[in-house]
C-alpha cells in the first residue's frame, strides 16, 4: 500500500472533467435494475405489520383470519418465528444496530414490526397483514425530549460520542464582557430516499443471495451472516443501484433480517419492500435535539468561551445519539471550548446517522448562536467569524491538513454581494414590499476514510476492467471513481469497464462519511498503479523497450504510455509492452485507508461558507429562500459537475432542515402523524431557486494520496444557519426551533 503521505497520486486528463453520470441513461430510461425490480421464479411477497402503538405489548393477533386469506402461505409472529443463530441485540460490525425481529411481544416504538405475512401476491400479503388486527396492552408513550430524564451517553462507541473540553471553561465564562445563553431545538427527521428499503432474498442451502440496496456491501454481508449463523462469504449481496441512502442503508435492519428469515423458512425467494409509511421507524432517523449554547466574548469580540451542551433522543434499547455538540469542537478559536452530550431514552426507533450526522443539527444551533453573538457585539456576522478564525485546530493546536475557509468566505461573500448588507434587521424591502434578509453560516465536515480494496485488470486489447464493491447511491460515485481508475491506468474512459455494487468484488468499503470517493478511489488508484508498476518492470527487463534498465524508478501512465516517473523523456506504449510480453492480462490489486499515525498529525476537514437571502411576506409571513451562494473547499475535485450536484443537494437539505422537515408524534399514541410525503415536507423545485455553488481551489497533501476530502454532506451544514439568520435579518424575530414556520414569525 502506498504511503499516503509521501506518494501523491498523479492524475491524467479524466479527473477534473465534468462528465455526466455513467448510470444516467440507465436510470432515466428505467433500464437500471433496483433491488425490488428483481422477481425470481417462485417468489413470495412479504408484508409486515407495523406496531400502531409506541409502547406496550401485543396481546392478540388474529392469525387464523390471516392464514385463511387466499394466497397467504405463512404468518410469522413471535410465537412461531424460527430461531435466529445470532443475537439481535448484538452489534456485529462497525455499522450495526440492535434490531427487532419478533423476538418477543414487547412494542418499543410505533412502526416496529410485530408480525410478517408471506403470500403469493403483494396484495394477499398486505391483506393478510391487515386481517391480523392486533390488540395491545398500551402504556403511555414518551416521544418528546422532556418526557424522560436525561442520562449520560453510554460508553463511547459508534454513535455515542465522547465530550470534549479544552481550556478553562469557567474562566472563559468569567472573562466574557458580553455573553449569550440560548437553547435551540431540532426535530426528528426521517431519511426519505426515493427508493425505500427493500430485499429480495433467495437461499440455496446455507448460502443466500440478497438483492438489497446497501451503502456498505461487505460489512452488511458480515452482519446478515451473523444473524443466520453462516460465514460472510455465503452471503452474496447485489446492490448495483440505490435510490438514495443518506446513512440509513448502511446497516442491517430488522425488517430485512425478517424477510431473509422468511425466505429460509418458506424455502422460496421472498421480496420485501417497505412502504413509505414503514420508513418511519425501524430503519433509523435523525434524532431530535435540544442544544444549549453559551458564548462569551471579550472587548475585541474574541470568543472567551464556546460552551455547547447537546441533549439528544435515543431509543429504549439502543444507544445512538445525534452528536450535535461535536459541531463546536473544530471550528472557532475560542479561549475555552466545551461540548457535552446527554441522551434521553424515548419510545422511538433507534436514531442513526442521517446525512451530516451531528454537524447538520449542531451547526444549525452553533451558526445561529454565532449570529446572535455578533448581533450583541454589534458586528457584521462575517466579520465576527473572521475575528474568531482558527488557524490551527481549536483546543488541540494541531495544524489543518489544509483549510481554505478564508477563501470560501471571500469568494462567497463577493458573489453574494454581502458587503451591502445593513447591520440592523428589518432594513430591506424589495420592490414588491417583501421583507428581505441576508444571513450566513460556516460549514465544516470532517473527512474520514474507511478501508477499501480494488482490482484492476489490463487486457491485451488495450481495455481494462476495474472492480470494487463500491456503491453508487445516487451521488455519482461510479463516474468519479471510474475517472480516478482510468487516470491510474493512463486510459481514456471508453477503454474502461467498471464493475461495482456486488459483494463478490473486492471490498469497496462504506459509502458514508463523505469518504467514499477518497477511500474507494484510493483503492482503485492503487490497483491501477500496481498494474503500471508491473508493466514498468516488464519493460525495464525487456531490451526491446525504451524503458529497458529503468529499474525500480517508478512508473506512471498517461495516454496509453508508461513513463518513468519524473523523467518524461523515457516512455513506452502500453500495448507494445504487453504484446512483447505475450499479451497476457496484467492484474493489479490496491487498497486504501488512512493510517492512524497520519490521521493523528493533522486536523482534516472540508470547509465552506453559505450565504442566503430570504423574502418574507410582511402580512402572511410566508418564507421564500430566493438566493443561496455556497462556497466550499474540499480538496481535489474529481468531477466538477457531480460535485456541484452534491453540494447543491446538500444546500437543498439545509433548506429542508431550516423550513420543512419535521416528524410529528401524536402525543396520545406516540405514532408519527405525518409518516408520508404529503405531511412530511421536503422542498420542491419552487422552494430552491437561485442556488449557486463555488468550489474553492484547495491542495491537500496530507488527507490522502488523491488529495480528496469529500463533498457528500458538507453542503447542508452551513445552509441551515444561513437561512435562519436571514429570517432574523428580514424580520428581527429570532426563532430558536426548527423548522421555522409561518406561525413562529407571526407570534414573534
For the chain, helix (H) and strand (E) counts, in that order, are 16, 28
Binding region for ligand MOS (CB under 6 A) out of 102-110, 111-119, 243-251, 737-745? 243-251
Q: How far is CA 448 from CA 121, 440, 444, in A?
A: 44, 26, 13
Within 291-310, the residues that bind ligand MOS by CB under 6 A are: none
The binder of ligand MOS chosen from 213, 247, 323, 509 (CB under 6 A): 247
Rank residues 96 and 215 by Cβ distance to ligand MOS and give the closer one.
215
Instruction: In angstroms, give the least distance from the CB of 361 to ligand MOS.
Output: 12
CA-to-CA distance for 425 and 726, rounded, in angstroms?
A: 9
Identify residues 327-356 at the interface with ligand MOS (CB under 6 A): 353-355
Nearer to ligand MOS, 450 or 680 (CB): 450
- Which of 185, 202, 713, 743 is an active site residue? 713
User: Which helix (H) or strand (E) element contains residue 591?
Assistant: strand 586-592
Is 512 or 650 the residue whose CB approaches ligand MOS more closely? 512
Q: Which stretch binds ligand MOS (CB under 6 A): 196-204, 244-252, 477-485, 616-624?
A: 244-252
| Calpha distance 225→317 (Å, rounded) | 22
Residue 243 binds to ligand MOS (criterion: CB under 6 A)? no
Least distance (Å) between residue 215 CB and ligand MOS: 6
- Answer yes or no: are the C-beta atoms of 698 and 404 closer than 8 Å: yes
Give the torsion sign (CA, 490, 17, 214, 263). Answer: negative
In angstroms, give the least distance from the CB of 250 to ligand MOS: 6
Sites for ligand MOS among residues 501-520 (CB under 6 A): 512-513
Q: Which is nearer to ligand MOS, 282 or 512 (CB)?
A: 512
Query: Three-class SS of residue 645?
Result: helix
Taking a C-beta distance cutoff of 8 angstroms, is the pair 449, 593 a contact? Answer: yes
Cα 495 to Cα 458: distance, rounded to the nearest angstrom: 10
Which is nearer to ligand MOS, 305 or 511 (by Cβ)?
Answer: 511
Provide the minimum distance between the beta carbon of 285 and ligand MOS in the complex, in angstroms, as a whole number. 11
Any contact of residue 234 with ligand MOS (CB under 6 A)?
no
Q: Using CA atoms, how far apart are residues 389 and 405, in angstroms rounded to an integer?
A: 9
Pairing of strands 605-616, 435-446: antiparallel
Stretch that binds ligand MOS, among 146-154, 155-163, 245-253, 437-445 (CB under 6 A): 245-253
CB 445 within 8 A of CB 717: yes
Whichever of 213 and 512 has its CB closer to ligand MOS, that residue is 512
The question of whether 90 is a catalytic residue gets the answer: no
Number of residues that bind ligand MOS (CB under 6 A): 11
Strand partners, 613: 438, 627
Least Å distance between CB 97 and ligand MOS?
A: 13
Region binding ligand MOS by CB under 6 A among candidate stretches 240-248, 450-458, 546-554, 597-605 = 240-248
CB-nearer residue toward ligand MOS: 198 or 258: 198
Q: Is 285 in the site for ligand MOS (CB under 6 A)?
A: no
The β-bridge partners of 464 are: 458, 496
Rg (CA), the chain: 27
Phi, psi angle pair for 546, to nearest 5°: -60, -15
Query: Is residue 569 classed as helix, strand or coil in its secondary structure?
Result: strand
Q: Which of residues 198-217 bind ligand MOS (CB under 6 A)?
A: 215
- Which residue lies nearest ligand MOS, judged by its C-beta? 247
Residue number, 481 or 496, with CB nearest to ligand MOS: 481
CA distance 347 to 114: 15
Residues 512-571 close enough to bind ligand MOS by CB under 6 A: 512-513
Positions 724 through 743 that interact with ligand MOS (CB under 6 A): none
Report the distance separating Cα 332 and Cα 390, nearest Å. Answer: 5
Q: Per rule CB under 6 A, is residue 710 in the interface with ligand MOS?
A: no
Nearer to ligand MOS, 172 or 357 (CB): 357
CB 713 within 8 Å of CB 361: no
Tell me which H or E stretch contains 310. Answer: strand 303-314
Q: Are 635 and 698 in contact (CB under 8 A)?
A: yes
Q: How far is the CB of 728 from ligand MOS (least distance, A)?
A: 29
Question: Please, what is the minimum distance in Å from the beta carbon of residue 217 to ligand MOS?
Answer: 14
Element (H, E) at 540: helix 516-540
Applying CB under 6 A, does 163 fall inside the site for ligand MOS? Answer: no
Q: Using alpha carbons, list the distances in angstroms from residue 523 to 3, 374, 591.
A: 12, 45, 4
Given 245, 252, 536, 650, the residue binding ligand MOS (CB under 6 A): 245
Nearer to ligand MOS, 247 or 395 (CB): 247
Cell of 16: 477534473
Candidate residues 349, 357, 476, 649; the one interacting with ligand MOS per rule CB under 6 A: 357
> What does the longest C-alpha to C-alpha distance in the chain come to?
85
Question: At closest approach, how far in Å is the CB of 682 from ligand MOS?
Answer: 16
Task: Select from 33-41, 239-247, 403-411, 454-462 the region that touches ligand MOS (CB under 6 A).
Answer: 239-247
Residues numbered 63 to 122 that lie near ligand MOS (CB under 6 A) are none
Helix (H, G, I), strand (E, B) or coil at 132: coil
The percent of the chain in helix, strand and coil, each rounded to the nearest 5, is 30, 25, 45
Question: What torsion do the CA atoms of 102, 237, 512, 531 make, to the nearest 10 degrees?
Answer: 160
As measured in angstroms, the least distance from the Cβ of 257 to ligand MOS is 20
Residues 6+ apart with CB under 8 A from 434: 615, 616, 617, 618, 624
Asked if 381 touches ligand MOS (CB under 6 A), the answer is no
Could you list the active site residues? 713
Residues of the shown chain interacting with ligand MOS in the complex, contacts defined by CB under 6 A? 215, 245-247, 250, 353-355, 357, 512-513
Amino acid at each position: 500500500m502506498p504511503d499516503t503521505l509521501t506518494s501523491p497520486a498523479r492524475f491524467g486528463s479524466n479527473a477534473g472533467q465534468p462528465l455526466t453520470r455513467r448510470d444516467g441513461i440507465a436510470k432515466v430510461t428505467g433500464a437500471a435494475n433496483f433491488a425490488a425490480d428483481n422477481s425470481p421464479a417462485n417468489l413470495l411477497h412479504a408484508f409486515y405489520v407495523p406496531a400502531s402503538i409506541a409502547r406496550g405489548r401485543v396481546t392478540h393477533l388474529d392469525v387464523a383470519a390471516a392464514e385463511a386469506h387466499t394466497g397467504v402461505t405463512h404468518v410469522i409472529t413471535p410465537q412461531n418465528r424460527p430461531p435466529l443463530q445470532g443475537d439481535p441485540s448484538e452489534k456485529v460490525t462497525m455499522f450495526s444496530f440492535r434490531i427487532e425481529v419478533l423476538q418477543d411481544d414487547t412494542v418499543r416504538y410505533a412502526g416496529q414490526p410485530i408480525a410478517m405475512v408471506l403470500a403469493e401476491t403483494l396484495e394477499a400479503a398486505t391483506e393478510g397483514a391487515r386481517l391480523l388486527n392486533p390488540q395491545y396492552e398500551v402504556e403511555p408513550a414518551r416521544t418528546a425530549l422532556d418526557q424522560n430524564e436525561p442520562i449520560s451517553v453510554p460508553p463511547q462507541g459508534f454513535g455515542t460520542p465522547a465530550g470534549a473540553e479544552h481550556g478553562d471553561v469557567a474562566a472563559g465564562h468569567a472573562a466574557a464582557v458580553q455573553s449569550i445563553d440560548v437553547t435551540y431545538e431540532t426535530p426528528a427527521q426521517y431519511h426519505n430516499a426515493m427508493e425505500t428499503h427493500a430485499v429480495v432474498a433467495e437461499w440455496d442451502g446455507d448460502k443466500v443471495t440478497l438483492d438489497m440496496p446497501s451503502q456498505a456491501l461487505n460489512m452488511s454481508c458480515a452482519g446478515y451472516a451473523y444473524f443466520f449463523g453462516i460465514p460472510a462469504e455465503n452471503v452474496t449481496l447485489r446492490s448495483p443501484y440505490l435510490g438514495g441512502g443518506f446513512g440509513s442503508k448502511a446497516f442491517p435492519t430488522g425488517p430485512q433480517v425478517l424477510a431473509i428469515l422468511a425466505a429460509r423458512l418458506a424455502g422460496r425467494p421472498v421480496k420485501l419492500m417497505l412502504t413509505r409509511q414503514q420508513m418511519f421507524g425501524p430503519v433509523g432517523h435523525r434524532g431530535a435535539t435540544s442544544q444549549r449554547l453559551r458564548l462569551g466574548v471579550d472587548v475585541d469580540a474574541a470568543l472567551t468561551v464556546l460552551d455547547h451542551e447537546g441533549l439528544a433522543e435515543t431509543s429504549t434499547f439502543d444507544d445512538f445519539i445525534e452528536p450535535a455538540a461535536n459541531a463546536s469542537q473544530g471550528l472557532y478559536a475560542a479561549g475555552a471550548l466545551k461540548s457535552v452530550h446527554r441522551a434521553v431514552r424515548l419510545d422511538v426507533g433507534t436514531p442513526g446517522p442521517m446525512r451530516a450526522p451531528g454537524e447538520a443539527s449542531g451547526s444549525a444551533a452553533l451558526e445561529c448562536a454565532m449570529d446572535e453573538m455578533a448581533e450583541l457585539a454589534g458586528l457584521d456576522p462575517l466579520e465576527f467569524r473572521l475575528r474568531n478564525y482558527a488557524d490551527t485546530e481549536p483546543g488541540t493546536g494541531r495544524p489543518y491538513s489544509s483549510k481554505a475557509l478564508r477563501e470560501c468566505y471571500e469568494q462567497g461573500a463577493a458573489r453574494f454581494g454581502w458587503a451591502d448588507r445593513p447591520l440592523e434587521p428589518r432594513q430591506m424591502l424589495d420592490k414588491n414590499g417583501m421583507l428581505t434578509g441576508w444571513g450566513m453560516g460556516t460549514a465544516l465536515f470532517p473527512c474520514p476514510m474507511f478501508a477499501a480494496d480494488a482490482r484492476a485488470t489490463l487486457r491485451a486489447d488495450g481495455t481494462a476492467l476495474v472492480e470494487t464493491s463500491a456503491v453508487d447511491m445516487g451521488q455519482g460515485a461510479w463516474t468519479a471513481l471510474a475517472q480516478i481508475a482510468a487516470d491510474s491506468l493512463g486510459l481514456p474512459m471508453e477503454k474502461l469497464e467498471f464493475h461495482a455494487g456486488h459483494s463478490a468484488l473486492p471490498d469497496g468499503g462504506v459509502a458514508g462519511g463523505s469518504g467514499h470517493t477518497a477511500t474507494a478511489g484510493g483503492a482503485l488508484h492503487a490497483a491501477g498503479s500496481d498494474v503500471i508498476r508491473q508493466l514498468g518492470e516488464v519493460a525495464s527487463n525487456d531490451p526491446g523497450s525504451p524503458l529497458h534498465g529503468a529499474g525500480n524508478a517508478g512508473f506512471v501512465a498517461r495516454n496509453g504510455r508508461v513513463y518513468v516517473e519524473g523523467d518524461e523523456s523515457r516512455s513506452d506504449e502500453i500495448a507494445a509492452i504487453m504484446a512483447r510480453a505475450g499479451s497476457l492480462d496484467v492484474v493489479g490489486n490496491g487498497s486504501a485507508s488512512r493510517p492512524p499515525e497520519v490521521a493523528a498529525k493533522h486536523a482534516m476537514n472540508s470547509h465552506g461558507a453559505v450565504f442566503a437571502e430570504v423574502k418574507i411576506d410582511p402580512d402572511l409571513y410566508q418564507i421564500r429562500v430566493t438566493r443561496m451562494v455556497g462556497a466550499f473547499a474540499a480538496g481535489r475535485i474529481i468531477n466538477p459537475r457531480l460535485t456541484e450536484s452534491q453540494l447543491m443537494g446538500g444546500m437543498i437539505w439545509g433548506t429542508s432542515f431550516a423550513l420543512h422537515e419535521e416528524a410529528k408524534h401524536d402525543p396520545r399514541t406516540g405514532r408519527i402523524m405525518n409518516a408520508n410525503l404529503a405531511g412530511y415536507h421536503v422542498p420542491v423545485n419552487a422552494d430552491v431557486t437561485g442556488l449557486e455553488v463555488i468550489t474553492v481551489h484547495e491542495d491537500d497533501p496530507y488527507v490522502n494520496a488523491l488529495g480528496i476530502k469529500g463533498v457528500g454532506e458538507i453542503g447542508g451544514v452551513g445552509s441551515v444557519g444561513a437561512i435562519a439568520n436571514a429570517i432574523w435579518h428580514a424580520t428581527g424575530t429570532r426563532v430558536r426551533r426548527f423548522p421555522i414556520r409561518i406561525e413562529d414569525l407571526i407570534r414573534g
